[in-house]
Amino acid sequence: MTYARRLAWPAVLALGIVLPLALHNDYLLTVMSTAFIFALATIGMNLLTGYTGQFNLAHGGFFAVGAYTVGVLTVDHLWPFWLAFGAAGLVAIVLGLAIGPLSLRLRGNYFAIFTLCVGYIMFLVIEKWDSVTHGVVGIIGIPSPPAIGPVSFDSPRALYYLTLAFLALGMWLMQRIVNSLVGYTFIAVRNSEPLAQALGINLMVTKVSAFLISVCYASFAGGLYAGAVRFLGPDLAAIDHTFDMTMYMVVGGVGTLAGPLIGALAVPWVTENLQFLQNYRFVVFGPLLIALLIFVPNGLVGLWQAIWARRAARAERSAQASRTVSGEPHA
Amino acid sequence: MELFLQQVLNGLTLGGIYGLIALGLTLVYGIMSVPNFAHGAFYMVGAFAAFLLTTRLGFGYWSAMVVAALCTALLAVLSERLVFYPLRNAPELSPMIAAIGLMLFLEAGAQAIWGADFHHMSGPWSGVLNIGGIVAPIQRLLIIGGAFGLMLALELFLHHTAPGSTILAVAQNREGAALMGIDPHRVEMLTYAISGALAAVAAALYAPINLVYPAMGQLVILKAFVIIILGGMGSVRGAIIGGLIIGLAESFGAFYVSSDYEDLIAFALLIVILSLRPQGLFATKLRTS
């Protein structure tokens, strides 16, 4: 089992690398790249929501801020793409330092409602601040990421590998974070704030750290989105994207490492096969999500774990039974 | 001076509508501790119901309002039964996400059935009263009278009737109320019904000077949340006063500062107030979920 587990991630990555060789379809590659970008943002959301227990409804707003940072800097100020991409992270940290400590003074529902309002303010500012964000017109003609050495990113296939690389990096980093002492303090805060505090964990510092890492993921994902899609409109900051990411997280399994990734890749794949739903997808996904919350609260990963646990228990029981039949004493 | 009073009139109109919506939200929060993000969608459904009843089925304005209130109350009770009741023991995150799912479902449903177009609904009286230089459209006076009358009626209902008292009792102490023979599930349904009906009435009152469209509830629900955070979650009077504060602030802000950023005022106010007083304006105890 541990052997299989150790091989699981490299196997998934290998699958991601060979997939374009099987797919001779630029459209599907683009769909996959976009899914990778949103997966990256969802992984970040999961750190704050799943592992630390704070539901940040401005997450999509930070995604849009990252995208607009890249868009504005490259198109209007002619910055090189990668410099603007770095700036997206910086902007997220500065905004996060302003918003995080303020919003994290509130708990549970209040935090969610407060960040919902913050997200709406981000949307309004992006929509109304014509001189910087071009308002409802949006930003057109964002350059695609320039070549790093001999590798250029102007074909869908190259873009696929670029987003895959960032996603792999993001997953690797996240795995390091949640399995570190810092990650354990996040989980401790989620499980019980008073207990965490009694153990000497500084709640505010812990929550703000999780918040900053989380919004950086969103902002970098947004920056990638700007380079990949090359067009931005204020709708990017609408609550819909935050909700999409929440849905990916719930489908896959909240507070698990693989859950957000599975959800973020599986749901767009389903949507792709239900094209006629495009505009009305929430007519189906709304009730589906509610049903998932009620009947499969731990998502696909939780379902998988439950099946494994049951199988293991059954194996244990039959092993025990055979021991009793053969007359051996058991401990 | 006339301009000032004109803004007061506009502020009271907005405050009345916001107050009615915030009241439903705060009642539900008091009983179930669920921030019902779908409440704005109830408001939208109420508006569409009133609009369709008057234009397609030939109802009068007032009878349409009553029937719309009943329909929306039914919708609210159904969502309680099908969505929030099964999730009552789930982690805090689940009903929140479910509420957002319900909101997007209702909005997408409305758009699929009625299209994304903007509709206009006419009120019973379209005239204008001129009182000492202040131009007062009758619909605005109707809103102010209707909204504050309804708030008063609700206050009396909660404090002076047995069903109303059961709501307060369950909000104060669920187990204690259950031991006194109050069925909390019936109270929950009653509360959702009231919240849905209040949203529909607010929508029907406001529709003649506003537009009816599927996304109309989005901004309103955010402002209602701002209001009940300001007023203290679960507090009825806090919701009314908070509604007035936001209504007046928006009306004056739009006039004296900038109408472009009118919608930002409520949120800016929220951030300023919560930075200075994290417990809200009227609440005394600290916020814990």
Q: Give the integer Cα–Cα distance in Å for A135 and A239.
A: 17
Q: Give the integer Cα–Cα distance in Å for A32 and A268.
A: 9
Are B44 and B234 spatial neighbours (Cβ–Cβ below 8 Å)? no
Among the listed residues B46, B47, B48, B40, the one whose alpha carbon sits nearest the alpha carbon of residue B100: B40
Comparing B155 with A6, the larger pLDDT belongs to: B155
Domain boundaries, chain A: 9-274
Determine the pLDDT at residue B283: 57
CA distance B60 to chain A (A): 31
CA distance A238 to chain B (A): 11
Q: Give the integer Cα–Cα distance in Å for A257 and A262.
A: 9
Q: Give the integer Cα–Cα distance in Å for B30 and B84.
A: 14
Q: In Å, how far are A256, A258, B85, B87 from A299, measured between CA atoms?
A: 9, 11, 20, 15
**A185 residue type, one letter:** T
Q: Give the integer Cα–Cα distance in Å for A326 and A324.
A: 5
Whether residue A63 is predicted with pLDDT greater than 90 in this model: the reply is yes
Q: Residue B231: exposed, middle, or buried by beta-carbon count in 10 A (0-12, 13-18, 19+)? A: buried
Tell me, which fold does domain A9-274 have in CATH?
ABC transporter involved in vitamin B12 uptake, BtuC (1.10.3470)
Q: Give the integer Cα–Cα distance in Å for B231 and B242.
A: 5
Determine the pLDDT at residue B289: 35
Determine the pLDDT at residue B78: 93
Determine the pLDDT at residue B79: 92
Residues B239-280 have pLDDT tens digits of 888 899 888 888 888 777 776 677 777 787 877 777 777 666
Answer yes or no: do A114 and B229 touch at CB < 8 A. yes
Q: Give the integer Cα–Cα distance in Å for A308 and A51.
A: 22
Q: Give the integer Cα–Cα distance in Å for B104 and B119.
A: 20
Which of B 177-236 lie inside 8 A of A, CB atoms? 218-219, 222, 225-226, 229, 233
CA atoms A123, A118, A240, A85: torsion sign: positive
Answer yes or no: do A286 and B270 touch at CB < 8 A. no
Among the listed residues A256, A221, A251, the one whose alpha carbon sits nearest the alpha carbon of residue A49: A256
Whether residue A60 is predicted with pLDDT greater than 50 in this model: the reply is yes
> Which chain B residue shows the shortest CA-CA distance from A109?
B289
Contacts of B288 in chain A (CB under 8 A): 107-108
Return the residue in A55, A99, A110 with the most chain B beta carbons within 10 A, the one to mutate for interface testing. Answer: A110
Q: What is the largest CA-CA distance in chain A?
A: 84
Q: Give the integer Cα–Cα distance in Å for A192 and A178.
A: 17
Contacts of A106 in chain B (CB under 8 A): 274, 278, 287
CA distance A299 to chain B (A): 12
Determine the pLDDT at residue B45: 93
Answer yes or no: do B35 and A240 touch at CB < 8 A. no
Answer yes or no: do A121 and B101 touch at CB < 8 A. no
Whether residue A86 is predicted with pLDDT greater than 50 in this model: the reply is yes
Answer yes or no: do A283 and B112 touch at CB < 8 A. yes
CA distance B59 to chain A (A): 29
Model confidence at A222, in pLDDT bands (50, 70, 90)? very high
CA distance A291 to chain B (A): 8
Whether residue A229 is predicted with pLDDT greater than 60 in this model: the reply is yes
Contacts of B226 in chain A (CB under 8 A): 117
- Is A17's Cβ below 8 Å from some Cβ in B? no
Are B138 and B125 spatial neighbours (Cβ–Cβ below 8 Å)? yes
ipTM for the complex shown: 0.81
Positions of chain B with pLDDT under 70: 259-260, 278-289
Comparing A273 with A81, the larger pLDDT belongs to: A81
Which of B 5-24 lie inside 8 A of A, CB atoms? none
Answer yes or no: do B108 and A290 touch at CB < 8 A. no
Whether residue A59 is predicted with pLDDT greater than 90 in this model: the reply is yes
Q: In Å, how far are A78, A99, A104, B92 from A108, measured between CA atoms?
A: 42, 16, 9, 8
Residue located via tokens 């619909």: B139
**B25 residue type, one letter:** L
Residue located via tokens 């009227």: B282
Query: Of A132-136, A196-200, A259-263, where does mean pLDDT reach its minimum?
Result: A132-136
Contacts of B93 in chain A (CB under 8 A): 49, 53, 55, 254
Contacts of residue B252, Cβ cutoff 8 Å, sequence gap at least 6: B7, B11
Are B232 and B241 spatial neighbours (Cβ–Cβ below 8 Å)? no
Are B27 and B188 spatial neighbours (Cβ–Cβ below 8 Å)? no
Residues A253-290 have pLDDT tens digits of 888 888 899 888 888 888 777 766 666 777 888 888 88
Phi then psi dihedrals of residue B129, to 5 deg: -100, 145
**A288 residue type, one letter:** L
| Domains contained in chain B, CATH given | 2-276 (1.10.3470)
Return the residue in A189, A204, A278, A282 with the most chain B beta carbons within 10 A, the one to mutate for interface testing. Answer: A282
- Is A117's Cβ below 8 Å from some Cβ in B? yes
Q: Give the integer Cα–Cα distance in Å for A77 and A139.
A: 13
Q: Give the integer Cα–Cα distance in Å for B254 and B268.
A: 13
Comparing CB atoms, the residue among B218, B226, B275 nearest residue A117 is B226
